[in-house]
């Protein structure tokens, strides 16, 4: 299958590319993104075939239905990464929490957040492609917490790939920071930056624009790629668990084939939600995709009013930091799918020049056929965590934003799957706060919580506190480039 560009083709790139090309060089003409030219079908026939499939069997068929130019043996190797999840037979447990609310847990991989769902297999494919082509790539990640650990974990000790990871010193949870700075592999470089996440991202942008940096990359014959969800190689793995969740409700005899369900997706960059949109379009019976946000509620406003308005908006720090995003990259792919390349280019250019765009009333109606949205502020998140913990289900703050959508945004009484995108252990200080415990660190929070709820600190988290710190470096913004160049040359 061919992949084409959301903002049309500028003549300097091929008018369509294969999957491998789209993931090695993910940036398309005019600053756009790659998308599949046609979407596969995931209707009843496809679902019937997979009622008894394992997650890996289902995944393989989905990948093949996108017509990707990847050998089956490499696909198998990539998907075998799911065997390192807590339950190799079912990497994504779907648990009944109450009446018709089911939680699909996407955090059972090595770094305890949903980023592993895509990055684990994606890392295998990207580095194998680089190696077979004899090419070397640098992946630069700027992280507020979850992307960093998952990117490092998937690429550690892989051939032909180097990864640098910038994080705001003091701006992540202790557990997230330890997951990064204790990673021990020669092809990884983790750098703390004095400042907040915006400073970190800005530093990365100016690096990308620097001639000196480009020259250093060229000298080492190293190309740049990306591992965030602008890369379609991430999105493709984020279609699988939506279909899996539907099949799980069938297996649990909660629904019959063809019954509609709601999905609730806690969203930031809209990659997870886009995966849901693609399978809905392919025929999976989804009534609507409900988008949950925190106080950075630009997606709520957009889906309710058609206005994407950055003017006068400032990013606020919430207790669900992985969703603290205002420019949500993957909305563009939905716009493309619904309104075509010409209109998408127009809207994206307006967003760049005026910090604003607005859909026509007809376009808004079209968007609302698939999506509805709401948001929760920090206090509402704390209350949800407390209420559900008291009833025996511990959830992280990102997951907690789903609950308001569940109680307020469903127009029909239908079984509903909400996604849990992180294990509670990554945000233990917030969890402790919701329970009224006074704590000074994540470690104390973890200890208090397990003590009061007869739980255990999972092994993967406990061992972080015993591992040696390998990346001590914290630098000023202006010193980042030199650190990076030293690392590329090493
Ligand atoms: C990345 C992340 C999200 C947001 O996912 P998107 O695909 O960017 O919308 C939500 N929750 C957690 C815990 C995450 O790490």
In a domain, 455, yes or no: yes
What domain range includes position 248? 80-113+235-466
| Nearest of 274, 311, 304 to residue 364 by alpha carbon | 304
pLDDT at 207: 85
- CATH assignment at residue 383: 3.40.50.1100
User: Does 114 contact ligand 1 (Cβ within 6 A)?
Assistant: yes
- Our mutation pick for probing the ligand 1 site, out of 105, 122, 143, 146, counting the most ligand atoms within 8 A of Cβ, is 146
Number of domains in the chain: 1
User: Does 268 contact ligand 1 (Cβ within 6 A)?
Assistant: yes
Cβ-contact 87, 109 below 8 angstroms: no
In a domain, 146, yes or no: no
pLDDT at 197: 76
3-class secondary-structure state, position 140:
strand
User: Does 143 contact ligand 1 (Cβ within 6 A)?
Assistant: no
Cβ neighbours of residue 289 closer than 8 Å, sequence gap 6 or more: 262, 263, 264, 265, 273, 276, 277, 280, 370, 371, 372
In a domain, 406, yes or no: yes
Structure tokens at 13: 């790139």
User: Does 418 contact ligand 1 (Cβ within 6 A)?
Assistant: no
Its pTM stands at: 0.96
In a domain, 304, yes or no: yes
Say how many Å lie between the CA of residue 268 and the centre of ligand 1.
5
In a domain, 62, yes or no: no
The pLDDT tens digits along the chain (490 residues) read: 799 999 999 999 999 999 999 999 998 999 999 999 999 999 999 999 999 999 999 999 999 999 999 999 999 999 999 999 999 999 999 999 998 999 999 999 999 999 999 999 999 999 999 999 999 999 998 887 788 999 999 999 999 999 999 998 888 889 999 999 999 999 999 999 998 777 787 888 888 888 899 999 999 999 998 898 899 999 999 999 999 999 999 999 999 999 999 999 999 999 999 999 999 999 999 999 999 999 999 999 999 999 999 998 998 989 999 999 898 999 999 999 999 999 999 999 999 999 999 999 999 999 999 999 999 999 999 999 999 999 999 999 999 999 999 999 999 999 999 999 999 999 999 999 999 999 999 999 999 999 998 889 988 899 999 999 998 899 998 899 999 999 999 8
User: What distance lies between CA 108 and its chain's CA centroid?
Assistant: 14
In a domain, 449, yes or no: yes
In a domain, 225, yes or no: no
CA distance 352 to 357: 9
Q: Where are the alpha helices (DSSP H) in 184-330?
A: 197-208, 211-219, 232-235, 240-251, 271-281, 298-305
User: Does 113 contact ligand 1 (Cβ within 6 A)?
Assistant: yes
In a domain, 60, yes or no: no
Long-range contacts of 446-455 (CB under 8 A, 24+ apart): 449/394, 449/424, 453/389, 453/394, 455/394
pLDDT at 201: 79
pLDDT at 198: 75
């Amino acid at each position: 299958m061919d992949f084409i560009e959301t903002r049309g083709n500028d003549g300097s790139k091929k008018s369509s590319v294969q999957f491998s090309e789209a993931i090695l060089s993910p940036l398309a003409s005019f600053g756009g993104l790659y998308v599949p030219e046609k979407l596969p079908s995931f209707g009843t026939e496809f679902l019937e075939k997979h009622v008894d499939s394992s997650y890996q069997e289902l995944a393989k068929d989905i990948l093949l239905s996108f017509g990707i130019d990847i050998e089956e043996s490499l696909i198998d190797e990539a998907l075998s990464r799911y065997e390192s999840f807590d339950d190799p037979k079912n990497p994504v447990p779907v648990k009944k929490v109450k009446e018709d609310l089911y939680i699909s847990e996407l955090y059972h991989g090595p770094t305890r957040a949903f980023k592993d769902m895509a990055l684990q297999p994606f890392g295998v494919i990207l580095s194998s492609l680089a190696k077979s082509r004899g090419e070397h790539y640098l992946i630069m990640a700027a992280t507020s917490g979850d992307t960093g650990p998952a990117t490092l974990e998937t690429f550690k000790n892989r051939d032909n790939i180097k990864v640098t990871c910038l994080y705001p010193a003091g701006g992540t949870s202790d557990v997230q920071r330890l997951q990064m700075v204790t990673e021990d592999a020669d092809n990884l470089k983790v750098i703390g930056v004095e400042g907040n996440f915006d400073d970190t991202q800005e530093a990365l942008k100016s690096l990308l624009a620097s001639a000196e940096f480009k020259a250093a990359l060229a000298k080492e014959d190293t190309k740049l790629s990306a591992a965030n969800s602008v890369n379609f190689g991430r999105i493709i793995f984020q279609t699988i668990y939506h279909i899996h969740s539907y099949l799980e409700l069938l297996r649990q005899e909660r629904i019959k084939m063809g019954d509609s369900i709601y999905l609730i997706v806690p969203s930031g960059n809209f990659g997870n939600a886009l995966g849901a949109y693609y399978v809905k379009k392919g025929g999976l019976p989804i009534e609507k995709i409900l988008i949950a946000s925190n106080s950075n509620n630009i997606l709520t406003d957009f889906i309710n009013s058609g206005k994407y308005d950055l003017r006068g908006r400032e990013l606020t720090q919430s207790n669900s930091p992985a969703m603290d995003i205002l420019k949500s990259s993957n909305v563009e792919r939905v716009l493309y799918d619904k309104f075509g390349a010409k209109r998408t280019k127009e809207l994206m250019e307006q967003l760049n020049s005026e910090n604003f765009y607005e859909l026509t009333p007809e376009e808004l109606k079209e968007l609302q056929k698939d999506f509805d949205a709401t948001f929760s502020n920090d206090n509402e998140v704390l209350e949800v965590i407390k209420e559900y913990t008291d009833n025996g289900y511990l959830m992280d703050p990102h997951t907690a934003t789903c609950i308001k959508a569940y109680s307020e945004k469903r127009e029909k009484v239908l079984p509903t799957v909400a996604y849990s995108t992180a294990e509670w252990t990554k945000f233990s200080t917030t969890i402790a706060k919701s329970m009224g415990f006074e704590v000074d660190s994540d470690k104390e929070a973890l200890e208090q919580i397990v003590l009061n709820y007869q739980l255990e600190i999972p092994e993967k988290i406990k061992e972080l506190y015993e591992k040696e710190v390998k990346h001590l470096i914290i630098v000023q913004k202006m010193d980042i480039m030199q650190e990076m160049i030293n690392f590329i040359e090493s």
